[in-house]
């Protein structure tokens, strides 16, 4: 009978430790943290960008991607994202999708604009650059190198 109590206590301790680690990890990774104002941008391609991907300015995380949808009229991807409330992007800001590494993963990189007005929640960034397909670029480089050798 005492063996069952010991096993129950050990099980409870394991569950408490697991709950602590989940809570600790959730707090350290900013999961679920989407405080800030929402902006949008349109791209011709958003390969590798996912909901929850980082939004960065000068390499510093300042927000997260919150939604992606396809515009049925233009067939462009609409990306909605948040930017920290303490950052006031000026009009004429630009957005581009950058790769984290050759292995994949992407983030949204913002550059501040030079206009006299500050972007408001719900505004859309007009100057955008979609993602670049690295495998396509490598393929073009390989095929252009082999095409140049065939003329000898």
pLDDT tens-digit map of 11-65: 888 989 888 888 777 766 655 555 789 999 999 999 889 999 999 999 999 999 9
pLDDT of residue 98 exceeding 70, the answer is yes
User: Taking the alpha carbons of 123, 126, 128, 130 in that order, is the dihedral positive or negative?
Assistant: positive
pLDDT tens-digit map of 67-85: 999 999 999 999 999 999 9
- Give pLDDT, residue 148: 58
- Give pLDDT, residue 150: 53
- Give pLDDT, residue 151: 52
| Section 94-120 average pLDDT | 89
- Round to the nearest angstrom and report the end-to-end CA distance of the chain: 87
Judge whether 130 and 49 are in contact, CB under 8 Å. no
Determine the Cα angle at 57 with ends 38 and 72, to 5°.
45
In the chain, what are the domain boundaries?
1-31, 37-137
Tokens encoding 114: 């030079």
Q: Give the pTM.
A: 0.69
Instruction: Print the SS3 string covering the chain.
Output: CHHHHHHHHHHHHHHHHHHHHHHHHHHHCCCCCCCCEEEEEEECCCCCCCCCCEEEECCEEEEEEEEEEECCCCCCEEEEEEECCCCCCECCCEEEEEEEECCEEEEEEEECCCCCCECCCCCEECEEECCCCHHHHHHHHHHHHHHHHCCC
To the nearest whole number, what is the mean pLDDT of the chain?
Answer: 86
- Give pLDDT, residue 67: 95
Judge whether 91 and 113 are in contact, CB under 8 Å. yes
- Give pLDDT, residue 51: 93
Judge whether 93 and 125 are in contact, CB under 8 Å. yes
- Give pLDDT, residue 74: 94
**Quick one: pLDDT band at residue 149, thresholds 50, 70, 90?**
low
- Give pLDDT, residue 30: 57
């Amino acid at each position: 009978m005492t063996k069952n109590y010991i096993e129950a206590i050990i099980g409870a301790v394991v569950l408490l430790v697991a709950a602590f680690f989940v809570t600790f990890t959730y707090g350290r990774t900013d999961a679920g943290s989407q405080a800030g104002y929402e902006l949008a941008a349109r791209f011709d391609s958003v390969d590798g960008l996912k909901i929850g991907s980082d939004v960065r300015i000068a390499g510093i995380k300042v927000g997260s991607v919150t939604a992606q949808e396809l515009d049925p009229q233009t067939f462009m991807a609409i990306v909605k994202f948040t930017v920290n409330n303490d950052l006031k992007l000026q009009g004429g800001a630009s957005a581009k999708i950058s790769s984290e590494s050759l292995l994949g993963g992407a983030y949204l990189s913002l550059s501040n604009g030079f206009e006299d007005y500050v972007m408001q929640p719900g505004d859309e960034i007009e100057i955008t650059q979609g993602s670049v397909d690295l495998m396509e670029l490598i393929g073009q480089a390989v095929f252009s190198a082999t095409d140049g050798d065939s003329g000898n």
